[in-house]
């Protein structure tokens, strides 16, 4: 039986302290905003899994198509013996890659969710008993130290989640990833692509309201964790395409003037009628933009693969 190691790099109460800091910072400035990572409690993760099955939400299917079609090419291009996956979640996507990597020795899933990590690791170990799994409970956006494992390494950051980061955050993130890579290593990056505004907005505002429930889930998280009294029905789900900055914004729009109490922070937050709380950006990319952002982090784009309908892209880059 191969060893399954689980390393906790976040102190137990890290999430609580981070949530308090993010809510205090985000709700006491104009415009109000919150980081999207707080969507993902158990209910939020389940809602996101449901989103990935919606007809309007194409990114997951598009990325899976590329992974299935190109896994052997990706494996051959890297010869990786260690696969590090940032924000691994349930590792569903990764299975296509792992199945195509005969020399793979160690899989290092990295996520803030211990339950997602242990669930994915147990499934993988059952299927690939020879595989070493070293799971890291870590917030990879705050810097990362990787365990010593056989090289070369392939670091994968899939799903288009890099689009959640603002441009300055992306630059810092890519630079920190570059710091993890040695010669012979590579980064596999999933990026959603710029396309028709109607298609983009529909993917973030489905007709059945699952994305609306996902968006409002952050209010439930703050109510539960910080004792706040947000009324989710007092906010409207909004998804807009920012043409200039080429990103989708999800917002919660206050239907009326209202004041919300957040006792854990001894805070009262006032919303004007029609005032927006930005809950997520999801940036959409063009090949030349990805190439230049990678180059700014001293990474050279070597491969660019899209799905048949060029909705989503996987890129491979090297130090
Ligand atoms: C998991 C961050 C890639 O930005 O498309 C899905 C999250 N938000 N629907 C995305 C999300 C609204 C998703 N990522």
pLDDT at 39: 94
Residue range 106-134: average pLDDT? 86
pLDDT of residue 2: 55
- Return the pLDDT at 144: 85
With a 6 Å cutoff on the Cβ, whether 163 touches ligand 1 is yes
Of residues 118 and 12, more confidently modeled:
118
> Given the CA of residue 248, which atom of ligand 1 is nearest to it?
4
**pLDDT (mean) for 239-253:** 98
Cross-strand partners of 107: 83, 133
Atom 13 of ligand 1, residue of closest alpha carbon? 161
What's the whole-number mean pLDDT along residues 1-11? 76
pLDDT of residue 226: 97
What does the pLDDT average to over 6-19? 84
Can you give the pLDDT at residue 15?
84
**Closest Cα to residue 119, out of 109, 129, 128?**
109
What distance in Å separates the CA atoms of residue 74 and residue 97, rounded to the nearest whole number? 8
Q: Specify the pLDDT at position 118.
A: 82
- Backbone dihedral region of 186: left (phi > 0), alpha (psi from -120 to 50 degrees) or beta? beta
229 marked as part of a ligand binding site = no
Ligand 1, atom 12: nearest CA belongs to which residue? 204
Cα 184 to ligand 1 centroid, rounded to whole Å = 31
Is residue 42 pLDDT above 90, yes or no? no
pLDDT at 184: 97
> In the prediction, which pLDDT does 91 show?
63
| Choice between 143 and 194, residue whose per-residue pLDDT is larger | 194
The ligand 1 atom nearest the CA atom of 159:
3
Q: Is 282 labelled a binding residue?
A: yes
How confident is the model over 144-153, as a mean pLDDT?
A: 92
pLDDT on residue 108:
94
> Could you tell me the pLDDT band of residue 72, with boundaries at 50, 70 and 90?
very high
Residue 53 pLDDT > 80: yes
The predicted model gives 189-206 an average pLDDT of 98
Beta carbon of 164 within 6 Å of any ligand 1 atom:
yes
| Mean pLDDT of the residues in the chain | 94
Q: Rounded mean pLDDT of 58-68? A: 96
47, 140, 161, 200, best to mutate for ligand 1 pocket (most atoms within 8 Å of CB): 161
Query: Using one digit for the tens of pLDDT, what is the confidence trace for 273-310?
Result: 999 999 999 999 999 999 999 999 999 999 999 999 99
Asked if residue 204 has its Cβ within 6 Å of ligand 1, the reply is yes
């Amino acid at each position: 039986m191969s060893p399954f190691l689980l390393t906790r790099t976040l102190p137990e109460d890290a999430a609580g302290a981070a949530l308090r800091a993010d809510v205090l910072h985000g709700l006491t400035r104009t415009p109000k905003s919150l980081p999207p990572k707080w969507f993902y409690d158990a209910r939020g993760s389940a809602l996101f899994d449901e989103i990935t099955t919606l007809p309007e939400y194409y990114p997951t299917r598009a990325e899976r198509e590329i992974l299935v079609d190109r896994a052997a090419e990706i494996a051959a291009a890297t010869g990786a013996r260690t696969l590090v996956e940032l924000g691994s979640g349930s590792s569903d996507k990764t299975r296509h890659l792992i199945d195509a990597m005969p020399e793979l020795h160690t899989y290092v899933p990295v996520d803030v969710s211990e339950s997602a990590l242990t669930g994915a690791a147990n499934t993988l170990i059952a299927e690939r008993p020879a595989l070493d799994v070293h799971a890291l409970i870590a917030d990879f956006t705050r810097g990362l130290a990787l365990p010593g494992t056989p090289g070369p390494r392939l670091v994968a950051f899939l799903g288009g989640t890099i689009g959640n980061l603002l441009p300055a955050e992306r630059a810092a993130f890519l630079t920190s990833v570059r710091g993890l890579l040695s010669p012979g290593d590579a980064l596999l990056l999933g990026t959603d692509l710029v396309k028709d505004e109607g298609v983009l907005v529909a993917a973030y505002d489905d007709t059945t309201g699952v994305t609306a429930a996902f968006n409002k889930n952050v209010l439930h998280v703050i109510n539960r964790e910080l004792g706040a009294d947000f009324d989710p029905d007092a906010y409207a789900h909004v998804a807009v395409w920012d043409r200039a900055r080429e990103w989708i914004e999800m917002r919660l729009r206050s239907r009326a003037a209202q004041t919300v109490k957040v006792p854990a922070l001894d805070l009262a937050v006032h919303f004007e009628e029609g005032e927006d709380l930005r809950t997520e950006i999801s940036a959409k990319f063009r090949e030349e933009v990805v190439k230049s952002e990678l180059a700014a982090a001293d990474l050279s784009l070597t491969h660019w693969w899209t799905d048949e309908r060029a909705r989503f892209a996987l890129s491979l880059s090297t130090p």
